[in-house]
Structure 1
């Protein structure tokens, strides 16, 4: 994430927090981010310097003016006018980071060889919430190289309970003993 994204995303969060609309703005920001991801040509069009700024901002007004919070529409127009609409994804990340800090939410990514059941996900979520003391949002990934067990990344910390990691640990200990 760039410094520009941190600055603009943080400023947008401050404004939304002041107006007490952080939940709504975050949801709408994520939706718009998804739309931009699905339509990269639209973002390129909005970033095209040969098209006058007024026309590009009109396109944003037409697309989101009736659907999104006025502050968010104006934020998009500002990014467009300044030629930094490409920073929008980073702005969303900073907004979400600040939201999570203020609402005591931790994000975790669990990686396993096969998809976990709903019961397993709930049990893991409960355990992580007790461990962190925060509300945890859990994202699941599958990776066949894990073999068995789980690898969890929680707030930048790796909790590795995979068979591969245990085998690597045993191998290191054996190498230390042999040398």
Structure 2
């Protein structure tokens, strides 16, 4: 079974998979450029990102874990960020169960601390997954989510006490 983790972003989405049959862990990033402010340009950017995220994946996955946008942050292109997330959720639900987590839950799953910064998340994920290429915080976030999903599927993952507590608080499918 494949566990998928997605840290969606208009500029650089982190994507990670854990194959629970082989133990293989992969990360990648999907980058999309701003095409302008017209509706057609914004739609095109979203469609390009979604295709680049989903096309390499199998038609079925054991579970997808995706980070929701931070509701408190009011950056530009807020509508597009939310659209990207919800269109991905829609498409991922056709491939298997989907779990959505908040940014704080993602940080806790990665490090055991909900207020962990990007550098701490990156260092912790790299330490917990030696031999896996984790180029930046986007890939680290995605791998932390995929690892939690793999654990839910029964794959052994060495959680700290804080991570185990965070895992237990996620609304996993029944």
Q: TM-score, normalised by structure 1?
A: 0.26
Q: Which has the higher helix share?
A: 1
Structure whose alpha-carbon radius of gyration is higher: 1
**Which one scores higher on RCO, CA 8 angstroms, separation ≥ 6?**
2
